Structure formats: C-alpha cells, structure tokens
C-alpha cells in the first residue's frame, strides 16, 4: 500500500489544518539549505496525570500513558560553574558518562556505551519504536512507518538544566554539542554525531581526566535549555524572576439571545475573578459597530463606538490611542468596572434570525490589535516600552462574521458564496499573521446552535497560533476554557529544527507551524536540518515527525536532535536542545517488540486524519485504515497454516483496536452530526499533545463499583451493566453513564454520580480544551453519545467476549442473561467481525 502526501485543497473547500511539510525524499545528504535548490512544501502536528484511585486499575486493552499537569515556567536563578553560568535546576535525565571515555589519542570511547539510553524515555520525544530496523524496505513500509512525537515546548518537573550562555554548534551542519559527542580531552575538540566532523571548543573542553567533563551539563544530559544573553526585540528588558503577563482582550458578541447572554455573563464574571491582580484586561463588544470600553470612568459604563463596516483608519486609531480613555487596565484597579460592564450587556433586540445578524468580528480584532500595539508602533527605535509577555485576544462568539472586513454572506445559498468565503479566509489569514507578528494569540470560543462558518474563523485562530473551540452553550465548559486559554504558558517566535544521522530523512511533519524561510534562521555550510516556524510554543502541542531511511542502515546507532529557539514567558530568548539515540537491529522480532503501540497509533492517526479534509475524504480514510491493517499483517505477520487468513503480529496486538476506534469514532466516523464539529476536532487532534491525542483516538473506560472503587475495562459495550456507573473519557468529551438498576436506588445513584463526576474532573484537570462532562441514565436519548463510542462486542461469540472482557466471568448467570437481552441489534461490526472481514485473525488481547 502506497501512501502519498495530500494535495493542497482550494482555500474555500475546507478549514485550514495544521501546516503540512513534506521534504523531498530524494534530497541528498549533501544538499545545502542555502543552495538554489529549495525543498518542496512538506507535510507537517497535556492533559494532567490520572486521579488517585481507591483501588488499582486493571490494564485496559488500549495502553494509557499519563502526563504531569500542564506546563509551568520555572524562574531562572544564576550560579557560576567553570566557564559558563548555569541555573541550579536538576537535569531531566540521569547523567551519561560516554563523553569522558575518549582519550587524547582516540575518538572511540574506552567503555562501550549502554545500548539502552535514558534519552529514549525523554518526556519531550516519543518514538514509535525504541529500536530502528536496519532493513530499508520494512522500516519504510508506509502502513506501519517509523516516526516520533515531539513536544518541544512541554515543561516537566524536574526540568532540564538551563545554561545562561549561547550553545556550541557544529560549524559544518549546525548541530548542537550533546552527551553523545566524542570529546578529545587533550585538545578539547568534539565530534558531531550528525555529520561526524570535528569542532573546536576553543580550549573549553580541555580537561585532565574524563571525570572533569561532568561540569558541562550539555555533555551529561539529553535535554538542555540555553538562555541567551540579550533580547532579539528592542525596548524589552529580561525579567528573570517574575513571569511577564501580557494583556488580555475580551471580545464579546452583542447579538446573543437572552438565555445565551445570561450564561455568558456568568462565565465572564467568573473569568475576571480568576485572573491575578496584575493581569491587564480590555473589553470590546461587537455587532454592527465596535464598542471599546473605557475603564477611566469609574463605576459608570463608558465606551467609544467605532464603525464596523470597514477597517479602522490609522487616524481614527491614533485619536483612540492618544485620547484620555483607558482601554487596558490591571485587574486590581478595574475589577468592579469589569463586572459592571458585563452586567450592563443586553440581549439582541430585533427579530432577526441568529445567522442573519450583523457581526463585525474582523473589525473588532483589528481594533484590539491596534490598542495592544499602541503608540510604540510609530517609533522606529522602540523608545516607548510596553509590558512584555504574549498578548491574548479571547473572542466569545455566538455566530459568524457577517459584517465588515472578512465577512461572509448571511446565507450559504448566496450565488457568490464560495468566492466571498475564500476572500474572507484570506483576510483572516492575513489578520492572524499580523497578530502573530505582534506576539498576540487569538483564541475563538464559540457557543450556541448558530453556524459560525468554521473555515473562516479557523483561519484567524490558526494563523495567530490560537485555537477555535465549539461549545453547546456559554456555560460551564465554556467558562473553564476561557480561564485555561488565558493561563496557558506560551512562547512566541519559535523556530523548530530537526536533524538526524546521515541516511535518515524527515518525510512528513504534522503540527502547529509552517515551513521556515531560509533567511529566518542561521544556516551552515552543510545544514540538512528541517526547520519549522512555530505559530506559538506551548506545552499542549506536539509535532508528528515521520522518518525514513535512504538505504539499509549499517551503523549501530541512529542519532536525532530536536531544537526549538523561542522567546519564553520571561521575554528572554531560549533554545531547548533534545538529543536522542536509538539502537539499530537486524532482527524483525526485536524491532516489533520495541514498537510503542500507543505512539505508533497516534502517528498513524495523525497521518490519516490529515487527509480527511471533507466528509468524503473521511470515508476514504476509513477504507485506507482497512488497507493499512491488511498490509501490516502481510508484511509483519504470519499466514495461518492451510488457510488464506493472516495472523496479526502479536507484538502489535493493541494497534488494530486503536485504529478501529479511530475508524468509527468522531474523527472519521459519523457519530458527530455536523461537519463543522468534525473539522474542529480534527484540527485539535493534529496539534494536540500525545496524551490528548491518544484519548481522542481511543477512549478510556472506567467502571464504578460498589464501595466507591474504580476498575478500568476495555471500551466495549459489555461494560453497560445495569448495576454499574461508567466513565468514558474520549478526550474532548467525558461521559458518565448510570445503569438502570443503579438509577432506581437514589442514595447509591447520588454517591456513584458524585464519585464519577469527581473522577471526570480529576482526569481533565487543566486539560485544554476542557472536555464536556455529560451524565445520563441507561435508555435515555442522550445515552446514544456514549453507546456509539463503544465497540459492539456483544455480537461476538461467548468465548471471544470472555477472552477480551474477562470481567464477564465474574457475573452471575442471571446478570449475564439480563445484559445480553439489553442490547439492540444494529449493523456496526464488532472489532473481531471487522478483522475477519479483512481476512485476518483477530489478535489475542495483550
């Protein structure tokens, strides 16, 4: 089965996805980044840890990996060590002593390094396999493939060592010095692991013995942060102790009905109450006009009203900025005024359908950007200095942009709608890029039942580095996401570089960025790195990197280096360098045993979802999954004796079930009603961290038992037992299902529901976006959301049910009979039926 990169779609055909870059596979290792040959465009994409359970969880059919809570920046504190100044923070991995093994007369270490490196278990990089197969044909097989998930902006505790100086780099290829470099302790020269060239350390690494190399953290740890002295942007001063908070502009839709407005007001009141006293906020509302609220009037509500029909003229903007109004104010001085403004909002007064109401969202964002940029935009030398930090514009929208710049017609039946939508998308993309240039992220939070024209708004959010989220209403989930969007730790101006050993190729990268232009970064003589300009640098993001080899591998190890340079939350320039080494093997069995099935599933999922730009594409991708599973069995499995059936490799037993969930779930299936919702989910999935991606791919099912204990079970419909409560975590949605028998016992129902609700909140604590948490009883109309996400294992023979769902054996005969009679027949195949339809033997559960 061949997998070809997707072709660019017409701008109006679908919402923009994460930037996709696919380097040319034939690119020679000697090609120069600065040469006239320019690579063709290429394809390019944390929730918290689990709660404390009162009893151990049983292993699920699909592996579940936990992650620490969302990233928090660590203040820098200086100390002196040798010739460098470093931060006294513990390293993220155990020290390595490989560098010290070199002698003045040899590059080779005197002690063989361990084959299992701690860099394989880096929290920033997850490889689809812990070893690399030497045979090109099988390693490059597109059905399984080889790759990595990289989260360069993720923060963990303890974090990597932070060095307050510039890094040493290979003058030939640009790679960074690292723990795998051979060091000649007599001359101080070090050998690059990427291009094998010798580099001078200008005498810095000259030591008397190998033990003395431990004073350089970059030679001991797989991950190092460099904090560069000085700033790239003029007029800003590093703040090494306090985190710098940029202003937050809240943009409010004026065209809401009373019920929606009441929910929104409640969420906004809670939002400003949650902000720290030093946070600076601004408030704008928009309809046919743009109202910029003035905080200088004390308790009175005052706003400057601007036209929304066209972009604001520079002269009008100057009058606004140089006037007496205060449009950005710290919470400690303006909290009562903000509450008064929110309370003064009134519902839409006219009898016009929601979709036909005039909303000048584009003009409102322009005004917010103008105020954020301020008068310093006119000063070429940056004499006037603003507060640093990334700025955020949080748009609370109840409908599409239908008036002024970037607007679309009220009706999709408009004869020229396709062209006008394409024009609107181009405007929004330009506005998003302008916001990003000024370190401003635009997050658009939509709610209600009115179509919001996702492709248009997605363009603005994506190009600024923000997100577009859809909610049922402006209630709890909306309010939580509003708060979490404002507190996300984010860097800006990020440049992500990927380097790997000669012979390895980056064939596809999926993530929140776009291919960097050659003049946007430093280039070296033989620099074959792949560079991505990141939209923003956040711990909740990841990049899916697909890799291939040019030929059969002869070396014992393959090296990978990932580096991201960005302006952090302290407004200082930082570079994070992550270096990994994988052992190569000849044995297919050893390679398959090293495959991390959950990581491989997520990478395959992102490559597949990337191509599902429309409902028709999604149907095609479901068929592609079928072909992929068959090809993996054909290439890596075995044929059943005296049969045409193939047996899936036992080392990959959970992979087919993960992809079966993907095939029938909301990303590719039809269990979500509107294509706009599926489009937003796909965009989130392509950019999401590994943990959230895995949950969106394959749900996690946890059953509540009597006594308040929880048990993790496979996500099969056999879990719907009437005397139980079940929690199903599907990433952006968490469902709580109460069995009919349990629901009749009021005391037990309340206790079970409270326990499940607490569990759901702990599972999604600090997750962004915050999931919907829905609870319902067995047999209710809403229960279909829950049932549709479970594999219909009730259709399988009894022996297979017990093999894959052992908990069935503990049920009394009458309970099993009752469970069997509760299922309604429908046409969806079970996992085993699907595997057999592909002429494959279902793998044994792991």
Structure tokens at 825: 């027949």
Tell which wins on pLDDT, 318 or 658: 658
Q: What does the pLDDT average to over 248-268?
A: 96
Establish how many alpha carbons lie within 13 A of residue 745's alpha carbon, considering only the half-sphere containing its beta carbon.
15
CA distance 648 to 835: 10
Asked whether the beta carbons of 32 and 525 are under 8 A apart, the reply is yes
- pLDDT > 90 fraction of the chain, expressed in percent and rounded: 57
Tell which wins on pLDDT, 222 or 233: 222
β partners of residue 147? 546
Q: What does the pLDDT average to over 175-189?
A: 92
Spell out the residues 6+ positions from residue 544 whose beta carbon is closer than 8 angstroms to its own: 45, 147, 148, 149, 508, 509, 510, 511, 602, 603, 606, 607, 686
pLDDT exceeds cutoff 60 at 738: yes
Spell out the residues 6+ positions from residue 160 whose beta carbon is closer than 8 angstroms to its own: 89, 91, 92, 221, 223, 224, 225, 576
pLDDT for 381 equals: 33
- The segment with the largest mean pLDDT, out of 579-593, 771-785, 804-818, is 579-593
Peptide bond into 769 cis (omega under 30): yes
pLDDT for 571 equals: 72
Q: How distant is the alpha carbon of residue 358 from its chain centre?
A: 33
User: How sure is the predictor about 722, in pLDDT bands with cuts at 50, 70 and 90?
Assistant: confident
User: How sure is the predictor about 20, in pLDDT bands with cuts at 50, 70 and 90?
Assistant: low
- pLDDT > 70 fraction of the chain, expressed in percent and rounded: 81
Tell which wins on pLDDT, 765 or 229: 765
* Burial class of residue 74 (count of CB atoms within 10 Å of its CB; 0-12, 13-18, 19+): middle
pLDDT for 233 equals: 46
Asked whether the beta carbons of 369 and 438 are under 8 A apart, the reply is yes
pLDDT exceeds cutoff 90 at 115: no
pLDDT for 18 equals: 54
pLDDT for 21 equals: 58
843 secondary structure, DSSP code: P
β partners of residue 290? 286, 306
pLDDT for 55 equals: 36
Lowest mean pLDDT among 29-33, 206-210, 474-478, 833-837: 29-33
Spell out the residues 6+ positions from residue 209 whose beta carbon is closer than 8 angstroms to its own: 100, 185
Tell which wins on pLDDT, 668 or 73: 668
- The segment with the largest mean pLDDT, out of 3-17, 672-686, 720-734, is 720-734
Q: What does the pLDDT average to over 439-460?
A: 94
pLDDT for 73 equals: 38
Lowest mean pLDDT among 174-178, 197-201, 450-454, 516-520: 516-520
Q: What does the pLDDT average to over 534-559?
A: 92
Q: 3-state DSSP call for residue 425?
A: helix
pLDDT for 521 equals: 66
pLDDT for 524 equals: 79
Tell which wins on pLDDT, 707 or 84: 707
Q: What is the pLDDT of residues 336-348, one digit of tens each?
A: 999 999 999 999 9
- The segment with the largest mean pLDDT, out of 399-408, 523-532, 780-789, is 399-408
Spell out the residues 6+ positions from residue 699 whose beta carbon is closer than 8 angstroms to its own: 661, 665, 715, 728, 729, 730, 731, 789, 790
CA distance 120 to 126: 7
Tell which wins on pLDDT, 492 or 655: 655
Spell out the residues 6+ positions from residue 751 whose beta carbon is closer than 8 angstroms to its own: 708
pLDDT exceeds cutoff 80 at 237: no
pLDDT exceeds cutoff 50 at 137: yes
Asked whether the beta carbons of 773 and 810 are under 8 A apart, the reply is no
Mean pLDDT over each residue of the chain, to the nearest integer: 82
pLDDT for 477 equals: 92
Q: What is the pLDDT of residues 152-170, one digit of tens each?
A: 988 887 878 888 888 999 9
pLDDT exceeds cutoff 70 at 243: no
Q: What is the pLDDT of residues 547-592, one digit of tens each?
A: 999 999 999 999 999 999 988 777 788 999 999 999 999 999 999 9
Q: What does the pLDDT average to over 38-47?
A: 39
Tell which wins on pLDDT, 660 or 34: 660
β partners of residue 499? 561
pLDDT for 23 equals: 52
CA distance 286 to 305: 9
β partners of residue 39? none
Confirm whether pTM is higher than 0.85: no
pLDDT exceeds cutoff 80 at 248: yes
β partners of residue 734? 729, 773
CA distance 300 to 483: 26
User: How sure is the predictor about 389, in pLDDT bands with cuts at 50, 70 and 90?
Assistant: low
pLDDT for 671 equals: 81
Count CB neighbours of 352 within 10 A.
12
């Amino acid at each position: 089965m061949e997998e070809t990169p997707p072709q660019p779609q017409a701008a109006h055909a679908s919402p923009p996805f994460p930037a996709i870059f696919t380097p040319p596979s034939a690119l020679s290792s000697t090609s120069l980044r600065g040469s006239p040959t320019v690579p063709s465009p290429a394809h390019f994409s944390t929730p918290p840890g689990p709660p404390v359970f009162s009893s151990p969880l049983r292993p699920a059919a699909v592996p579940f990996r936990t992650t620490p809570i969302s990233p928090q920046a660590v203040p820098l504190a200086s100390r002196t060590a040798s010739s460098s100044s470093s931060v006294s923070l513990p390293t993220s991995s155990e020290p390595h002593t490989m560098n010290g093994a070199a002698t003045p007369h040899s590059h080779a270490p005197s002690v063989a390094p361990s084959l299992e490196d701690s860099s394989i278990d880096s929290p920033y990089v997850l490889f689809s396999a812990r070893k690399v197969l030497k045979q090109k044909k099988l390693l490059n097989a597109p059905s399984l493939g080889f790759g990595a998930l990289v989260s360069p902006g993720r923060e963990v505790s303890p974090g990597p060592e932070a060095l307050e100086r510039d890094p040493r780099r290979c003058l030939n290829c640009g790679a960074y010095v690292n723990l795998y470099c051979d060091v000649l302790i007599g001359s101080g020269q070090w050998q690059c692991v990427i291009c094998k060239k010798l580099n001078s350390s200008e005498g810095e690494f000259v030591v008397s013995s190998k033990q003395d190399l431990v004073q350089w953290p970059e030679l001991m740890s797989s991950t190092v942060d460099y904090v560069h002295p000085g700033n790239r942007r003029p007029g800003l001063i590093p703040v090494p102790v306090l985190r710098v908070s940029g202003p937050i502009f809240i943009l409010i839709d004026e065209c809401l009905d009373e019920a929606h407005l009441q929910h929104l007001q409640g969420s906004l009141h809670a939002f400003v109450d949650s902000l720290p006293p030093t946070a600076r906020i601004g408030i704008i509302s928009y309809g046919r006009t743009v109202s910029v609220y003035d905080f200088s009037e004390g308790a009175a509500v005052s706003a400057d009203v601007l036209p929304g029909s066209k972009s604001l003229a520079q002269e009008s903007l100057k009058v606004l900025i140089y006037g007496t109004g205060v449009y950005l104010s710290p919470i400690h001085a303006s909290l009562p005024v903000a509450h008064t403004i929110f309370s003064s909002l009134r519902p839409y007064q006219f009898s016009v359908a929601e979709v036909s109401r005039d909303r000048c969202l584009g003009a409102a964002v322009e005004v917010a950007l103008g105020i954020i940029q301020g008068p310093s935009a006119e000063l070429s030398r940056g004499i006037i200095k603003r507060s640093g930090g990334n700025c955020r514009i949080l748009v609370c929208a109840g409908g599409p942009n239908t008036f002024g710049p970037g607007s679309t017609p009220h009706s999709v039946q408009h004869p020229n709608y396709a062209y006008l939508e394409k024009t609107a998308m181009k405007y929004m993309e330009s506005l998003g890029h302008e916001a990003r240039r000024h370190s401003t992220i635009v997050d658009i939070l939509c709610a209600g039942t009115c179509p919001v024209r996702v492709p248009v708004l997605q363009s603005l959010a994506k190009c600024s580095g923000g997100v577009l989220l859809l909610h049922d209403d402006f209630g709890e989930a909306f309010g939580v996401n509003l708060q979490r969007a404002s507190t996300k730790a984010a860097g800006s101006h990020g440049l992500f570089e990927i380097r790997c050993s000669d012979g390895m190729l980056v064939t596809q990268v999926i993530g929140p960025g776009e291919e960097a232009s050659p003049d946007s970064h430093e280039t070296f003589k033989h620099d074959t790195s792949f560079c991505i300009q990141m939209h923003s640098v956040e711990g909740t993001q990841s990049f899916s990197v697909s890799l291939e080899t040019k030929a059969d591998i002869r070396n014992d190890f393959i090296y990978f280096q990932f580096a991201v340079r960005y302006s952090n939350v302290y407004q200082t320039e930082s570079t994070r360098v992550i270096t990994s080494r994988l052992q190569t093997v000849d044995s297919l069995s050893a390679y398959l045993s090293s495959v991390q099935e959950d990581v491989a599933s997520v990478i395959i999922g992102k490559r597949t979802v990337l191509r599902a730009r429309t409902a028709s594409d999604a149907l095609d991708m479901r068929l592609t999954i079928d072909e992929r599973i068959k090809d993996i069995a054909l290439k890596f499995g075995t044929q059943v004796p005296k049969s045409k059936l193939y047996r899936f490799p036992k080392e990959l037993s959970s992979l087919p079930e993960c992809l079966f969930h993907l095939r029938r779930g909301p990303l590719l299936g039809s269990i979500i009603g509107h294509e706009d919702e599926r489009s937003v989910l796909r965009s989130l999935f392509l950019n999401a961290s590994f943990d959230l991606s895995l949950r969106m791919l394959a749900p996690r099912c946890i059953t509540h038992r009597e006594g308040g204990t929880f048990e993790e079970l496979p996500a099969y419909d056999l879990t719907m037992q009437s005397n139980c409560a079940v929690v199903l975590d599907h990433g952006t949605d968490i469902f709580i299902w109460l069995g009919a028998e349990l629901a009749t016992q009021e005391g037990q129902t309340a206790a079970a529901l409270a326990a499940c609700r607490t569990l759901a909140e702990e599972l999604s604590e600090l997750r962004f976006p915050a999931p919907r948490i829905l609870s319902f009883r067995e047999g209710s109309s809403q229960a279909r959301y829950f049932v549709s996400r479970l594999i219909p294992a009730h259709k399988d023979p009894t022996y297979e049910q017990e093999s894959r769902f052992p908990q069935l054996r503990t049920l009394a005969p009458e309970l099993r009979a009752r469970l069997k009679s509760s299922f309604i027949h429908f046409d969806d195949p079970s996992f085993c039926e699907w595997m057999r339809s592909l002429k494959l033997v279902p793998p044994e559960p792991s």
